[in-house]
Amino acid sequence: MNRGNCIGWRRLAAVAALAAVLATAAVIGVPARADNLPVTNKIPAQMTKIRVMVYNGAYTSLPPYIARDLGFYAKYHLDAELTVVNSGPAGVAALLGGSLDFVEPPTDQVIENQIRGTDLRIVVGNEIRNFYSLIATNTVKTPHAGHYPAVMHDLKGLRIGVNALGATTHLMMNALLKGAGMSPDDVTYVAVGSSNTALAAWDAGRVDVQLAFTPFPEIIHALGSGRPILDFSKGEGPPLLQKLGGAFEAFSAKGSFIRQHPDVVNAFIKAHTDAINWIENPANHARLVQLVGKYVNTSIIPAAKRAETVDLMVDNYNRYFGVTVDRGAIAAWNEYLLGNKLIPHAVAADDVIYRGAPKP
């Protein structure tokens, strides 16, 4: 065999080997390169069924409900079935099992799944700011409220409420303490569960401070029993936790689904964008309040304070919603996850975010 034929044979063999690797990756779920996923401006030619995750009674899931009820999905030829899921990991499991097409896990879960070989990509943003707040009871003295890291030293020896040990609230509180040169051992953690049980723990005096998100801060504001001492959505707190907000929580799909249905993904992005634009339009406030009452669990809010609290929830969450996905935020997520020893190595933004996702 001459040299030219030998080189040609080797090239053919290399191509065949690469094809075999890609085929194997598709079978076992190893993520394909992000730049291989198609991007299109087309929408489906006819009505197409999609299955979308929503959280039970959570404000974060308003956009899918609005996109369905107000016809934004139908506008782009999507027939959306909304499925209630209790957690981000449960949503990812349902996606991988084939019963969902679009899910809303926090970005840390997307990254962790990528490292495990899960074929998952963020396709459109939902929250574009870190929406956590540190809320203190009126009995706690915090002379450095609003000033990080000094305020963390006001909390030494206090009882801090978090959803669960090992949950995002717990890990984020650890990061706050470490960033202030303190140790998690400087406080006592109390696992208080979801908003309704957290409110019961608060009312019973079991916690001094709560790391919380909607609707807890709004309820406490309405009741007048506490006040925020750090509000990440307003730029308070350490820079690292601020940077997470550019890709805080979003909707994701499998790379294989994107490859097979880029027009459906494009239509989903457009419908989601229309829904959030509608939510943020002040002219729609009255109708939005009605939809909040229909789809968000407001029963834990005292009846006498419900209208006031819902108005505040609407105003606050309009600062959190957005469809863009900041690729630069992935570096902050890597730093945060590595610092909490939750991932063995960093991931590239292009391996986490679909290149067709809206950019800031």
Does 143 share its domain with 169? yes
What are the DSSP calls for 288-299, one per residue? HHHHHHHHS--T
Q: What is the largest CA-CA distance in the chain?
A: 89
The per-residue pLDDT for range 235-267, each reduced to its tens digit, is 888 888 889 999 999 999 999 999 999 999 999
Structural element, H or E, at residue 275: helix 262-280
pLDDT for residue 1: 38
Residue that the structure tokens 């790379």 belong to = 255
The range of the structural domain enclosing residue 85 comes to 36-128+248-296+322-351
What are the Cα distances from residue 225, in Å, to 52, 195, 204, 228, 330? 37, 15, 12, 11, 36
Does 292 share its domain with 342? yes
The per-residue pLDDT for range 58-90, each reduced to its tens digit, is 889 999 999 999 999 999 999 999 999 888 888
Does 263 share its domain with 342? yes
Q: CA 111, 39, 317, 333: dihedral to nearest 10 degrees? A: 20
DSSP letter, residue 164:
S
Does 92 share its domain with 229? no
Instruction: Indicate the average pLDDT of the chain.
Output: 88
Total domain count, the chain: 3
Domain membership of residue 302 (yes or no) is no
Does 87 share its domain with 118? yes
If one counts every other C-beta atom within 10 angstroms of the C-beta of residue 331, the result is 17
Domain membership of residue 308 (yes or no) is no
The per-residue pLDDT for range 154-207, each reduced to its tens digit, is 999 999 999 888 878 898 899 899 989 999 999 999 999 877 788 899 999 999
* pTM score: 0.83
Residue where one domain finishes, among candidates 202, 217, 237: 237
The per-residue pLDDT for range 280-333, each reduced to its tens digit, is 999 999 999 999 999 988 887 888 888 988 998 898 888 899 999 999 999 999
Does 152 share its domain with 188? yes
The per-residue pLDDT for range 6-21, each reduced to its tens digit, is 334 333 334 333 333 3
pLDDT for residue 308: 87
